[in-house]
Structure 1
Amino acid sequence: MSSPQPISPQPIIPPTQNQQESQADQFFNNIAANPLASAGLSVAQNYLNQGDQLLKSQLGGIFSFDAWRYYFNVNTSFVLKKILMIIMPYPFLGSWERKYVIGEDQSKLYNVPQEDIYAPDLYIPLMGFISYVLAIGFYYGSKGTFTPETLSMTTTLCLILISLEVMILKFLEYMLFNYSSDFRIYLSYVSYVFVPVLMCTFVGSLQIPYLTYIALLFFGTSYAFFLYKTLFGSLASIQTEENKKRIYSICVGVFQIILIFFMMK
């Protein structure tokens, strides 16, 4: 009696390329035939397209030379009046709404800073930022503790603080009013803080007892009032939510006093 022959394992034949393509086509055809899956893909595609358009528009706005040039279109008269408005805003009565004309497409075309004292600019903030960094370097140099890292650390800290404040304010503006301003507007508004900080730093260098705190109280409250009026005027295009706009502007202004005290330290 002969012994049974061993059964050899059958080789596994991988599917051919045509079979793989057929299976893939069948899979996508099943998805296309499913209304729920098709709706989900359509919604996802719409969100991706919107996100791509938003990203392109934001990046295009960031690197747009014309958009940045608007905020540096200033003259000597504007700079002097604006600085006076920051440190002594109380005589400037009435609404601080920006001036504009209606374009052919019915959009608002705001006047450049040198034509409107209430327009935001970035020339004063930039000069204030540079002056503040140099003042910090001079302060540590007078004490014999200056190092090159002092300037880099001061610059980095200021940029982080300003960037965080701009992002927080834009987020709050969108959440509260469903409205989004150009980030350069907030960059201008919050960067005006270097003007009162420099004034307080100068007064503090006189080393007169309690004079620094008096300067902080005066210039801090002045800048808080300035920012309140400025923000409230910039939100004038929002016809409703008057109380919410007022509270929002007051809270942002009061926070600046804390920020000035921190930057002086």
Structure 2
Amino acid sequence: MNFNARNPSRTGGRKSKQYAEPVNNTYPSYNMYDPVNNPNMQSYEHQMNNPSFPDYQMNAHQRHYPSGADQGFSIPSQFLNEPLVTNVAMQYGHTIVGQGKQLVDQHLEKYVPVSRLKYYFAVDTGYVSRKLALLFFPFTHSDWSVKYEQDEPVQPRYDINAPDLYIPAMAYVTYVVVAGLVLGTQNRFSPEMLGIQASSALAWSLVEIVVEFLTLYIANIKTNLKTLDLLAFAGYKYVGIIFAVLLSLLLRKAGYYIGLIYSSIALAFFLVRTLRVQILPESGQSAYSGGGKRRLYILLFVAAIQPIMMWFLSSHLVS
């Protein structure tokens, strides 16, 4: 027998439960989450917006933040605006920065003597003008001693006899610029030539310093000279080179050789009078006794090599 739920006669006289079926396979027109058409949602929204409702504060917080915004950890703005918290954060940041700077300085000092470099660049305008005048006219200078303060040499700005690296560095850059200018007047300028001038001058200066340092080491001569001192004295020759090359623009080769000869003699005299305090023995001892003779030879070698290097680095610039 076939069972038909729609036909009560088939159920033995019992009435079956009636269920509402969707009309045309559709559900009620209102959305169950729509507070406008759903009466239950309207009542819920009224409770959420009622200050007397127990969870009103919590729901107000949820309304101000989107879904998932309050899931993570967040610091209230009032906490960050506290002066005590701000001061602690600033002090902690300064401490971290100071420790990092100290660590970098310690590692950098192993390879680059930053503290010593600061000494060689401690100059001012008065020192630069007086030092340039001394390089061109050293014959009028009488006091060549280097001043010391607590076993440390005085900064160059306070002692004209102290070596510096500011004038050699600026003279080297000016030499490269003047070389480019002279090559341009001869229609020989090119960026490659300018790079060759800069690299070759730097390379020969380093070779000169290495030779002088090795000579002092092999001769077993102990002096107060440091590597940066030798670099400073080797860089003073660029001042004379610039003078000779600029003079060649006015008087051609005659002007070049006049400027080169005079600046070479002045630089050699300057180095002899300056280095003799550092290389030769103290007063009261003979320069020819013991290692004094070797010291004298090294002094003359350092002074005599400068004119040769000046001619080598500038002769090709004169047409």
With structure 1 as the length reference, what TM-score do the two structures score?
0.70
Alpha-carbon distance in structure 2 between the residues aligned to 1:263 and 1:161:
9
In the alignment, the residues of structure 2 paired with residue 236 and residue 62 of structure 1 have an alpha-carbon distance, to the nearest angstrom, of 30
Q: Which runs of 5+ in 1 are unaligned?
A: 1-56, 103-107
Structure 1 position 135, deviation (Å): 0.6
Q: How many aligned positions are there?
A: 202
Q: Distance in 1 between matches of 2:281 and 2:158?
A: 20
**Correspondent of 1:77 among 100, 123, 126:** 126
- Asked if the contact 2:280–2:292 (Cα under 8 Å) also holds between the matched residues in 1, the reply is no
Counterpart amino acid of residue 312 in structure 2: F
Of 97, 100, 104, the residue aligned with 2:148 is 100
Answering whether residue 160 of structure 2 is matched by residue 117 of structure 1, we say yes
**Is the aligned partner of 1:246 residue 2:296?**
yes
Quick one: which amino acid aligns to residue 221 of structure 1? Answer: I
Matched, 1:86 2:129: no
Residue 145 of structure 1 is aligned with which of 169, 172, 188?
Answer: 188
Please point out which of 189, 204, 217 is paired with 2:233. Answer: 189
2:254 is matched with 210
Q: Which has the larger radius of gyration?
A: 2
The corresponding residue for 2:115 is: 66
Task: Name the aligned partner's letter for residue 175 of structure 2.
Answer: Y
* Contact map agreement 1:200 1:216 (CA 8 A) in 2: yes
**Superposition CA RMSD, Å:** 2.2
Checking the alignment, whether the CA contact within 8 Å between 2:147 and 2:154 is kept in structure 1 is yes
By how many angstroms is 1:63 displaced?
Answer: 1.0
Aligned counterparts of 2:294 and 2:128: Cα–Cα separation in 1: 31
Instruction: Identify if the C-alpha distance between structure 1 residues 209 and 195 changes in structure 2 by more than 3 Å, giving closer, same or farther.
Output: closer
In structure 1, distance between residues paired with 2:120 and 2:260: 28
Identity over aligned pairs, percent = 25
Structure 2 contact 248–254 (Cα < 8 Å) conserved: no
Alignment counterpart, residue 219 of structure 1, candidates 258, 263, 287: 263
Contact 2:147–2:159 (CA under 8 A) maintained in structure 1: yes
1:212 deviates by 2.2
Whole-angstrom CA distance in 1 between matches of 2:188 and 2:253: 24
CA distance in 2, matches of 1:219, 1:167: 24
1:91 Cα deviation after fit: 0.6
Q: Which residue of 1 aligns with 2:170?
A: 127
Secondary structure of 1:90's aligned partner = helix
SS at match of 1:249: helix
Aligned partners of 1:143 and 1:209: how far apart in 2? 14
1:8-27 alignment runs, 5 A limit: none
Which amino acid is the alignment partner of residue 89 of structure 1?
A: P
Q: Gapped runs of 5+ residues in structure 2?
A: 1-105, 286-290
